[in-house]
Structure 1
């Protein structure tokens, strides 16, 4: 229990550092809002559909695999979030979230989980996109901290959830094996 308290203290300290950085740099809030919107899900659906239609080699398999991964990730994310029930950092005194989150709890970050699912899918099918895919996913996660709706550990947990779900589905389907 003591180690969980120490982790929470470290997490809160890191969260406050990011909030101070955001408050000192006026463009960070606007940039974070824009990047966060990339993680809302619409962009993933559009990209998957475009690949399925216009990329003859792997596009359809990419879309099918992605749908299966998200069918695994989403219920696990909801189960974890509603079992752990960690309050959002915006419930801390003096912390204002810059956006209204879609639900009450913060752990794990659904935006990060989805972003890392998508990044892992992209890298599996298009390895040359490694740096771009994981950089965008990391920025989506970071944007959620900057906006005041997640602790850094929420992002790490969401990222791990997304990558693990994708890798499990790749193994089950024999994709890339």
Structure 2
């Protein structure tokens, strides 16, 4: 069963990764991936905490707790599962960005983006569809850039969403 899932994951990767063959696909993937880097989350949380004295500190606390749940789980999974990145094993695939580490599963960018989107949906419900469109774009970008399989980003998205919901359950 695991072999069939792995084969399916690789086939889906090859289909989605084709966007890297087009300059616009590469540009969009690079920008979306960069938008999922960690500094933006911290900046947003600090600005929100300062600008909204009523709910901003709660948002800050939710994000802090959620990342405190997500990051250790992410590192345990990453170092235990040790799945090679597609750019390391798929013929003809190359990474269009430098990965932060050498293992693929789960996607940290996807985890962080879905965590942030889930909590931001609570904070500004009107942005919900846009938050998940953006976080899905971050996940897609990691596939296009050759550093994750679709299963990696699904696992990351699940991890981030779970961590966000757990923190909300504890603090709200």
The two structures have a TM-score, normalised by structure 2, of 0.96
Runs (4+) of structure 1 exceeding 3 A deviation are: none
CA RMSD of aligned residues (A): 0.9
After superposition, the C-alpha distances for 1:92-140 in whole angstroms (9 at most, x for unaligned) are 2221110110100000000000001100110122211101111111100
Q: Structure 1 residue 57: deviation in Å?
A: 2.8
Corresponding position: 1:40 with 2:37: yes
Q: Which has the higher contact order (CA 8 A, sep 6+)?
A: 2
Counterpart-to-counterpart distance in 1, 2:165 and 2:17? 33
Question: Which residue of 1 is the match for residue 68 of structure 2?
Answer: 71
After superposition, the C-alpha distances for 1:19-60 in whole angstroms (9 at most, x for unaligned) are 22331x221101111110111111101110110011233111
Runs of at least 5 residues in structure 2 that lack an aligned partner in the other structure:
none
- Are the counterparts in 1 of residues 85 and 147 from structure 2 also a CA contact under 8 Å? yes
Corresponding position: 1:58 with 2:74: no
Candidates 22, 26, 34, aligned match of 2:23: 26
Secondary structure of the residue aligned to 2:104 is coil
Corresponding position: 1:106 with 2:104: yes
Counterpart-to-counterpart distance in 1, 2:99 and 2:142? 10
Question: Which residue of 2 is the match for residue 83 of structure 1?
Answer: 80
Counterpart-to-counterpart distance in 1, 2:164 and 2:97? 28
Candidates 132, 136, 139, aligned match of 2:137: 139
Counterpart-to-counterpart distance in 2, 1:20 and 1:121? 32
Runs of at least 5 residues in structure 1 that lack an aligned partner in the other structure:
none
Q: Structure 1 residue 146: deviation in Å?
A: 0.4
The two structures have a TM-score, normalised by structure 1, of 0.94
What is the count of residue pairs matched by the alignment? 171
